[in-house]
Amino acid sequence: MPLRLLKYAWKKPEEELRFFPSEKPLKQSYDAVIIGGGGHGMACAYYLAKEHGITNVAVLEQGYIGGGNTGRNTTIVRSNYLTSEGVKFYDASLKLFEDLSEDFDLNIFYSTRGHFTLAHTDSAMRTMRWRAEVNKHHGIRSDVVDVETIQKDIPYMNVECNGQHPVMGALYHEPGAVARHDAVAWGYARGAQLRGVEIHQKTQVTGIQTQGGKVVGVQTNRGDIQTNKVISMVAGSTPRITRMLDIPTPIEVFPLQACVTEPVKPFMNTIVVSGSLHVYVSQSSRGELVMGASVDPAELHSTRSTLDFVEGLTDQMMDLFPFTSRLKIMRQWAGMSDITPDFAPIMGKTPVEGFYLDSGWGTWGFKATPISGKTMAHTVAHDQVHELIKPFALDRFENFKLVGEKGAASVGH
């Protein structure tokens, strides 16, 4: 029995430290306003306060903390990207993740499981090797492994895949992990709040005011606020916010769905992704198989579920894990993914002074939560774009300087 638990045993609920404050009025002005109380928004607030001493900050969340994609994602954390820019960025995030539980004094269940990206074609094998080589070059533990090695770790996988597109090998990424998504947002929120940041739930930003190309305030459903710095961290709602300032972006929003089975005792320890089959799966600490696929085929700003998704996913899943036919799907859901043409985020400054953008997180942004918060906080505090996120600028498209991440992200999250 860990000692930490003993000290809670004698406390009454009301003596507990609150994670989040109860509702209180908005102030008239703040040094900075963060739109979006997801993981990114909370992390940015945390690092602004902790590392830059900027605490007169409000995080405005239209719903509840973590209710966007943060609370809907399948929590795969990895750094086996294809480009140097991507690898460095996500690796820095992983390093932060590893310390979070202790930083927060809150277990985020950061669980290193190992991550297999299966290859079913020789061209996929080439991509896996490419990623492995780029990763190793940056000191990241990734290797191309053969079928025997996969079978050693996952003996119950049907590598023959019913005779079609058999597994030829995989990219194995040892640091691949899963975590408790909500806890990440809560931990950051509590940490930020303890340092003086205000968190306002059920507060929706409805407009952003500018004067002479500079941000001067935001409008909300609870009244107006003055501020010279606004940081948009709203993932799937980004086009709605950028519309307010007439900033067109390359982002398009597509639903991304996921589902879970009923809980069963642990048998799957690694994370398995198959790009060719459009599926990925891990087993949560509650015992559910958490599964997902690629984004829905058309733009949509909605979190509705479709039957096509579960039908397709379960069908493909059985090629790899035939025995899962005996399990039951318990729940499905969706989030809105802000997809970019090059599958890399859009971060940093914008044409409007004082308006900062953290977006383009598509299917892959949970793993970036800590590093996005940290680098965006730096960017806002110094009004100077952090080195790690320079390649992710909004104007890279205009300059035809895209980040070549497409090959690595399509279904991997």
Partner 1 sequence: MKFVNCPLIGKRALSEFTYGGVVKSEPDLESVTDREWAQFVFYRHSDPQIQFEWWYHRPTGIWFVFERDTLTDRIESIRMAQKGAVNDA
Partner 2 sequence: MTLRLPPQPLEWIDRNETVSFEFEGKTYTGFKGDVISSALWANGVKVLGRSFKYHRRRGLLSFANHDVNALFQGQDRPNVRGDVVTIDENHSLQAVNTFGSLKSDKGSLVEWIGKFLPVGFYYRAFYSPRFLFPKWESLIRHMAGLGTVDTGWSEQRQPKRYHYCDVAVVGAGPSGMAAALEAAENGVEVCLIDENPFIGGSLDYQFANEETVFASRNRLKAAVFSHPNIQVLTDSTVAGYYGDHWLAVNTSQGLIKLSAQAVIAATGVFEQPAVFRNNDLPGVMNASAAQRLIARYGVAPCKEAVVLTSNPEGYRAALDLLASGVEVGAIVDTGEVSHKWVQKVLTKGIPVYKYAEIVEALGKKQLKGLVFKAAGGEYEIACDGLLMSVGWAPAGALVYQAGGKFSYDATAHQLLPSVLPDGMFACGRLNGVHEIGHQIEDGKLAGEMAAQYVTSHGTSKTESENSVVTRYREVSAHSHHYPIWEHPKGKNFVDFDEDIQLKDLKGAIAQGFDNIELMKRFSTIGMGPSQGKHSNMNGIRILARLTAKSIDETGSTTARPMFHPVPVSHLAGMRFRPERMTVLHDFHREANAKFMEAGNWLRPEYYQTAETKQACVEAEVSAVRSSAGLVDVSTLGKLEVFGPDAAALMDRLYTMNMSNMKLGSSRYALMVDDAGIITDDGVAVRYAEEHFYVTTTTGTSDAAYRLIQKKILEWGLNVTVVNRTGQLAAMNLAGPNSRRILAELTDIDLSNDGFPYLAMRQAPVAGCQATLIRVGFVGELGYEIHVNANDSATVWQAMMQAGKAYGIQPFGVEAQRLLRLEKGHIIVGQDTDGLMNPFEAGMPWAVHLKKPYFIGKKSLAKLKQSTSRTLVGFELQVNDAARRPLESNLIIEQGEMVGRVTSVGFSPALQKVIGLADIRQDLSDVGSSFQIKLTDGSFVSASVVATPFYDPDGSRQHPVENPKGAAA
Ligand X SMILES: Cc1cc2nc3c(=O)[nH]c(=O)nc-3n(C[C@H](O)[C@H](O)[C@H](O)COP(=O)(O)OP(=O)(O)OC[C@H]3O[C@@H](n4cnc5c(N)ncnc54)[C@H](O)[C@@H]3O)c2cc1C
Residue ranges in contact with ligand X by CB under 6 A: 35-41, 60-63, 67-70, 72-76, 204-205, 233-237, 256-258, 292, 335, 337, 361, 363-367, 413
Q: Which stretch binds partner 2 (CB under 8 A): 27-35, 145-153, 224-232, 402-410?
A: 402-410
Of the candidates 411, 290, 392, 408, which has an alpha carbon nearest to the alpha carbon of residue 344? 392
Please give the helix or strand (H or E) that residue 248 lies within, else none. Answer: none
Task: Please choose which of partner 1, ligand X, partner 2, none residue 250 contacts, taking the beta carbon within 5 to 8 angstroms, the exact cut-off set by kind.
Answer: partner 1
Rule CB under 8 A: choose which of 28, 151, 162, 221 binds partner 2.
162
Of the candidates 152, 138, 158, which has an alpha carbon nearest to the alpha carbon of residue 91? 138
Please give the helix or strand (H or E) that residue 254 lies within, else none. Answer: strand 252-261
Shortest Cβ 367–partner 1 spacing (Å): 24
**Measured distance CA(347)–CA(340) in Å, rounded:** 12
- For residue 60, give both structure tokens: 């405005």
Rule CB under 8 A: choose which of 74, 75, 79, 324 binds partner 2.
324
Task: Please choose which of ligand X, partner 2, partner 1, none residue 70 contacts, taking the beta carbon within 5 to 8 angstroms, the exact cut-off set by kind.
Answer: ligand X
Task: Please choose which of ligand X, partner 1, partner 2, none residue 134 contacts, taking the beta carbon within 5 to 8 angstroms, the exact cut-off set by kind.
Answer: partner 2
Shortest Cβ 40–partner 2 spacing (Å): 18
Instruction: Supply angle C-alpha 30, 31, 32, rounded to 5.
Output: 90
Shortest Cβ 69–partner 1 spacing (Å): 17
Rule CB under 8 A: choose which of 27, 28, 51, 64 binds partner 2.
64
Of the candidates 17, 22, 69, which has an alpha carbon nearest to the alpha carbon of residue 365? 69
Please give the helix or strand (H or E) that residue 355 lies within, else none. Answer: strand 355-359
Q: Which residue has the tokens 């940093």?
A: 348
Q: Considering beta carbons, is residue 126 or 304 the nearer one to ligand X?
A: 304
**Three-state secondary structure call for residue 260:** strand
Site residues for partner 2, 19-48, by CB under 8 A, read 19-22
Q: Which stretch binds partner 1 (CB under 8 A): 130-138, 167-175, 215-223, 302-310?
A: 302-310
Task: Please choose which of partner 2, ligand X, partner 1, none residue 365 contacts, taking the beta carbon within 5 to 8 angstroms, the exact cut-off set by kind.
Answer: ligand X
Task: Please choose which of partner 2, partner 1, ligand X, none residue 38 contacts, taking the beta carbon within 5 to 8 angstroms, the exact cut-off set by kind.
Answer: ligand X
**Measured distance CA(97)–CA(394) in Å, rounded:** 26
Let me know if 298 is exposed, middle or buried by CB neighbors in 10 A (0-12, 13-18, 19+): exposed
Note whether 157 and 9 are within 8 A (CB).
no
Task: Please choose which of partner 2, partner 1, ligand X, none residue 123 contacts, taking the beta carbon within 5 to 8 angstroms, the exact cut-off set by kind.
Answer: partner 2
Q: Where would I find the H helices in 105-203? A: 122-137, 147-153, 181-194
Site residues for partner 1, 350-409, by CB under 8 A, read 397-400
Rounded to 10 degrees, what is the CA torsion of 306, 308, 311, 315? -140
Please give the helix or strand (H or E) that residue 377 lies within, else none. Answer: helix 369-382
Q: Considering beta carbons, is residue 117 or 242 the nearer one to partner 1?
A: 242
Site residues for partner 2, 179-198, by CB under 8 A, read 180, 182-183, 186
Is 134 near partner 2 (CB under 8 A)? yes
Is 135 near partner 1 (CB under 8 A)? no
Shortest Cβ 315–partner 1 spacing (Å): 13
Please give the helix or strand (H or E) that residue 361 lies within, else none. Answer: none
Shortest Cβ 36–ligand X spacing (Å): 3
Rule CB under 8 A: choose which of 304, 330, 383, 387 binds partner 1.
304
Contacts of 171 (CB under 8 A, 6+ apart): 80, 116, 117, 119, 128, 129, 131, 132, 142, 143, 144, 145
Rule CB under 8 A: choose which of 27, 126, 243, 301 binds partner 2.
126
Site track 235-264 with partner 1 (rule: CB under 8 A), x = hit: ----xx-xx--x-xxxxxx-----------
Task: Please choose which of partner 1, ligand X, partner 2, none residue 136 contacts, taking the beta carbon within 5 to 8 angstroms, the exact cut-off set by kind.
Answer: partner 2
Q: Which stretch binds partner 2 (CB under 8 A): 13-21, 216-224, 346-354, 358-366?
A: 13-21
Q: How far is CA 349 from CA 229, 251, 311, 356, in A?
A: 11, 16, 42, 5
Shortest Cβ 80–ligand X spacing (Å): 12
Q: Tally Cβ neighbours within 10 Å of residue 138.
A: 14
